[in-house]
């Protein structure tokens, strides 16, 4: 392995204080505009940072175009979104300070701003990541948690990037905002695991609503809120929903209802469902931890001029 993984000491919150002093306000304004235009974009930008960091580290590789890139991996295809917003942020940042700020760092700042502007806490984003030179479609297909994964599989994917069981529960709490496509949960609605009926861990009223929203004959592209009854607000309502059988994705509900959860994640779901401040504080810590996954620093990688392509 030629790639050197470095610890977070290489990243600092004031990395651009001399070279791009207005960076944070430039990004904030663009994220604000994007969320004003489409509330869902907050969740989309948060997810892009997550999907970036889980594959090759937080290196902006998820943004690269090309049929062999991560955008075309199954977890991202027709699913990852917000790339145009990232382009707008990058353009604004380049106007302020050309050739200085990486796309990977833009994703980290945009994720923080999305949480804050949706009602969550702010935190100091550590900066200094550089952009990777290659995408990793296989890594995205194998390494990104899937809504169909078992709890053990999800936990293993988090462990592979240095995140623990608590991080699994906390970062899943990012589903307090955003929408899910029917294709990601419709298997729970009709013939779950060959039973001929809906998943019994689901609230029955919710099953009826979702069956109307996601008909068997549909294309799977209709959407439903991940956090029913608290769609756009960043809060701990997601965990309260899990306790009440109202998690949309199977990968969310198993954190509370699966056999394996009883000795692992269930107590954490209850903890965060009962304590908003604890969830906010722990979410901040897990986001910083995730943002420190194998960044490229120093002279590794590059600062992309266009987030979609490596520099020529």
Residues involved in catalysis: 51
Q: Quick one: which of 125, 171, 162 has its CA closest to 283?
A: 171
Q: Quick one: which of 92, 74, 97, 252 has its CA closest to 174?
A: 252
Q: What does the block give as tokens for 279?
A: 């969830």
Distances (CA, A) of 285 to 1, 217, 240, 291: 29, 43, 21, 10
CA dihedral 46, 50, 249, 69 (to 10 degrees): 110
Beta bridge partners of 151: none
DSSP annotation of 224? E
The whole-angstrom separation of Cα 312 and Cα 304 is 10
**Per this entry, what is the length of the chain?**
312
């Amino acid at each position: 392995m030629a790639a050197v993984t470095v610890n977070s000491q290489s990243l600092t919150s004031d990395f651009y204080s001399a070279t791009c002093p207005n960076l944070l306000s430039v990004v904030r304004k663009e994220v604000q505009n994007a969320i004003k235009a489409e509330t869902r974009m907050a969740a989309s930008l948060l997810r892009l940072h997550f999907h970036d960091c889980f594959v090759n580290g937080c290196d902006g590789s998820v943004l690269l175009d090309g049929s062999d890139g991560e955008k075309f991996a199954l977890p991202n295809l027709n699913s990852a979104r917000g790339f145009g917003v990232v382009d707008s942020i990058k353009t604004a940042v380049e106007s302020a300070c050309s050739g200085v700020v990486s796309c990977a760092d833009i994703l980290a700042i945009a994720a923080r701003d999305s949480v804050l502007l949706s009602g969550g806490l702010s935190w100091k984003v550590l900066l200094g990541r550089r952009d990777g030179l290659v995408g990793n479609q296989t890594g995205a297909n194998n390494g990104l948690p899937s809504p169909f994964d078992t709890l053990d599989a999800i936990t293993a994917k988090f462990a592979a990037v240095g995140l623990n069981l608590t991080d699994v529960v906390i970062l899943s709490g990012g589903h307090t905002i955003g929408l899910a496509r029917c294709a990601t949960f419709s298997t729970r609605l009709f013939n779950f695991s060959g039973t001929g009926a809906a998943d019994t861990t689901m609230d029955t009223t919710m099953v009826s609503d979702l069956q109307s929203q996601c008909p068997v004959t549909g294309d799977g592209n209709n959407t439903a809120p991940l956090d029913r009854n608290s769609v756009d607000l960043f809060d701990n309502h997601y965990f309260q929903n899990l306790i009440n059988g109202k998690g949309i994705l199977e990968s969310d509900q198993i954190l509370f209802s699966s056999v394996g959860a009883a000795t692992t994640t269930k107590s954490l779901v209850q903890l965060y469902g009962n304590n908003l401040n604890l969830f906010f504080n722990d979410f901040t810590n897990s986001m910083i931890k995730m943002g420190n996954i194998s960044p490229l620093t120093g002279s590794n990688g590059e600062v992309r001029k266009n987030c979609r392509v490596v520099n020529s």
